[in-house]
Amino acid sequence: MGTLNTLRKAYGVLKDKTKIGLAKFNSNFKELDIAIVKATNHIESPPKERHVRKIFAATSVSRPQTDIAYCVQALAKRLSKTRSWIVATKILIVIHRTLREGDPTFRDELLNYAHRGNFLQISNFKDDSSHFAWVKTYAVFLEKRLDCFRVLQYDIEAERLTKLASGGSSRGQSRRMSSGELIEQLPALQQLLSRLIGCQPEGAASDVYLIQYALALVLKESFKIYCAINDGIMNLIDVFFKMSQDDAVKALGIYKRAGQQVEELAEFYEYCKGLELAKNFQFPALRQQPPPSFLATMEEYVKEAPQSGSVQNKLEYEGREQVSEVASDETKKQGEIRINKLLINEQEKSKLEEPRQLIPMGDLLGPYETNPTTLEIEKNNAMALAIVPSGTNLASHDLSEQWELALFTTPSNNTTHAVESELHQLMYT
C-alpha cells in the first residue's frame, strides 16, 4: 500500500511538470496556467503564497474580463479531471482564498460560471475514502457560500461592522433588516452555518495537515456568520410580536433552529480549539439559550396572531379612520361658520326691513329695562332665525336660550324659505 502511494505521488509530480512545460509553449495565459498548476500540485502541503498571489493578480479588477473567466474555467476544469484528493483540496483552497481575499470580480465570474451548472464537479477519487468525503463536504460548503450571496446580495466575510454611537458592540446588516428580509435571509445564513459545521473532519482526515489548513479557513468564516445570525435573531425578537401568523410561524422555526445550532457550533469550536492552526484564534462568546418560558410565550403568540394581511389592514383602517375624523371635524367647523354667517346676515336684513321706534335715552341708561318695541323686534328675529322643535313655546324660554338652541335643533316652520334651503343643504352635505 505504501509503495502504491509513493508511485502515485511520483506520477502526480511528473504530470505537473509536463503540464508546466506545455503551458510555456502552448498557452495564451502562460503565467496564469503555470501559477495554477504550481499552486495546486500533488505535494501534500498548502499552496505556496507566491503562486496564490499571482492568481489574485490575474483576477483583479484591473484585468480584462476574459482573463478572469479563463482563470475560473481553468480551476474548474482541473478540479473536474483530477483523481487526487490533494489536488482537489488545494484547488478548493485557492478558490476559497480568492473569494475571501481577492477582488469581487472573481466572485461575480464564479457565480456566472456556476449558473451554467459546471461548478465544482468532482470525479470519483481512488484515494482514501475519508479524505474524499471531506473534500466533497468542503466543496458543498463553498457552493452554499455562493448561494448565500445570491440571497443576501452582500458578502458576510467582506462586511464591515458598524460601531454603535453609544460605544456598544458592532452591528451588521442583519440587525437593521426588516421582518420580511429576516424571514428570507436568516434561513440562508443558517444553512450556510450548517454546512460549515459539517466540515469537521472525521477519521484519518482529521490528522491531515492540509485538511486542517483548509478547516482553519472555514473556521474563520464561522465567526462573522454566527454574528450575523445572532444579530438577526435579536432583530427578529424585536419585531416578532407584531407579525402576522404566517410570518410568526416562520420566525419561530428560525428561532428554534438558531438555538439548536448554538449547541452544534459549541461542539465544533471545542474540536477546533485543539488544532495547532487555531490556537491564536479568538472565538466568539456564544449566546445563551433563552428560558423555556420565553419560547412558550412565542408559541402562544403564534396561536393568537392575526392572519396574514390582518396587521396591514388594521393599520390602513386606523389610518383611514383618523383621516375621516379629521375631515369630519373640518366639515363641522366649516358648517358652523357658514350657519353663523347666515344667521348674522339674516338678522341684519330683518333689522333693516322691520321699522324701529326711537328708544328714549332714559331707557338705554336704565339698569336692566328693555323697551317693549325693541323686545318685540328681537323676539320676531329670534323666531325667524331660531331652529327649535315644533310645538315649543318660545315665550317660555329666555332669549339667550333661544339663540343657543339655534344651532342644535330642527328647523321651525316660521323660518324663511331662503334660510331653510341653505340650512337644509348644510346639514345634509
Burial (Cβ within 10 Å: 0-12, 13-18, ≥19) of residue 27: middle
Taking the CB of residue 21, how many other CB atoms lie within 10 A of it?
11
CATH number, domain 1-126, options 1.25.40.90, 3.30.365.10, 3.90.550.10, 1.10.150.20: 1.25.40.90
Contact predicate 87/46, CB 8 Å: no
Question: Facing residues of 162 across strands?
Answer: 171
Q: For the chain, how are helix, strand and coil distributed in percent, rounded to 5?
A: 70, 0, 30
User: Is the per-residue pLDDT at 408 higher than 50?
Assistant: no
CA 252 to chain centre: 16
Side-chain half-sphere of 332: how many Cα atoms within 13 Å? 8
**pLDDT given for residue 11 in this prediction:** 63
Residues near 318 by beta carbon (within 8 Å), at least 6 away in sequence: none
Contact predicate 122/88, CB 8 Å: yes
Q: Which three cell numbers stand for residue 150?
A: 445570491
| The dihedral sign for the CA sequence 155, 157, 160, 164 | positive
Exposure letters 227-243 (e unless 16+ CB within 10 A, then b) = bbbbbbbebbeeebeeb
Contact predicate 214/156, CB 8 Å: no
Q: Which three cell numbers stand for residue 46?
A: 498548502
Alpha helices in 102-241 (DSSP H): 104-115, 129-152, 179-197, 209-240
pLDDT tens digits, one per residue of 88-105: 999 999 999 999 999 999
Residues near 394 by beta carbon (within 8 Å), at least 6 away in sequence: 379, 382, 383, 386, 388, 402
pLDDT tens digits, one per residue of 55-98: 999 999 999 999 999 999 999 999 988 888 999 999 999 999 99
Residue type, 312: Q
Rounded percentage of the chain residues whose pLDDT exceeds 90: 45
| Choice between 385 and 429, residue whose per-residue pLDDT is larger | 429
User: Is the per-residue pLDDT at 33 higher than 50?
Assistant: yes
* Distance between CA atoms of residues 406 and 386, nearest Å: 4
Write the DSSP symbol of residue 166: T
CA distances from 26 to 29, 54, 393 (A): 9, 19, 118
Residue type, 429: T
The pLDDT mean for the chain works out to 76
Torsion angles phi and psi, residue 44, rounded to 5 = -80, 75
Cell 330683518 locates to 350
Taking the CB of residue 277, how many other CB atoms lie within 10 A of it?
16
Domain definitions of the chain by residue range: 1-126, 173-305
**pLDDT given for residue 125 in this prediction:** 59
Fold of 173-305: Methane Monooxygenase Hydroxylase; Chain G, domain 1 (1.20.58)
User: Is the per-residue pLDDT at 176 higher than 80?
Assistant: yes
Burial (Cβ within 10 Å: 0-12, 13-18, ≥19) of residue 87: buried
Burial (Cβ within 10 Å: 0-12, 13-18, ≥19) of residue 74: buried
Contact predicate 68/95, CB 8 Å: no
* Distance between CA atoms of residues 423 and 336, nearest Å: 10
The closest alpha carbon to 210, from 283, 137, 139, 131, belongs to 131
**pLDDT given for residue 18 in this prediction:** 75
**pLDDT given for residue 4 in this prediction:** 63
User: Is the per-residue pLDDT at 236 higher than 80?
Assistant: yes
pLDDT tens digits, one per residue of 318-364: 555 554 554 455 555 565 665 555 555 555 555 545 444 443 433 33
Residues near 371 by beta carbon (within 8 Å), at least 6 away in sequence: 357, 359, 360, 363
Cell 420566525 locates to 251
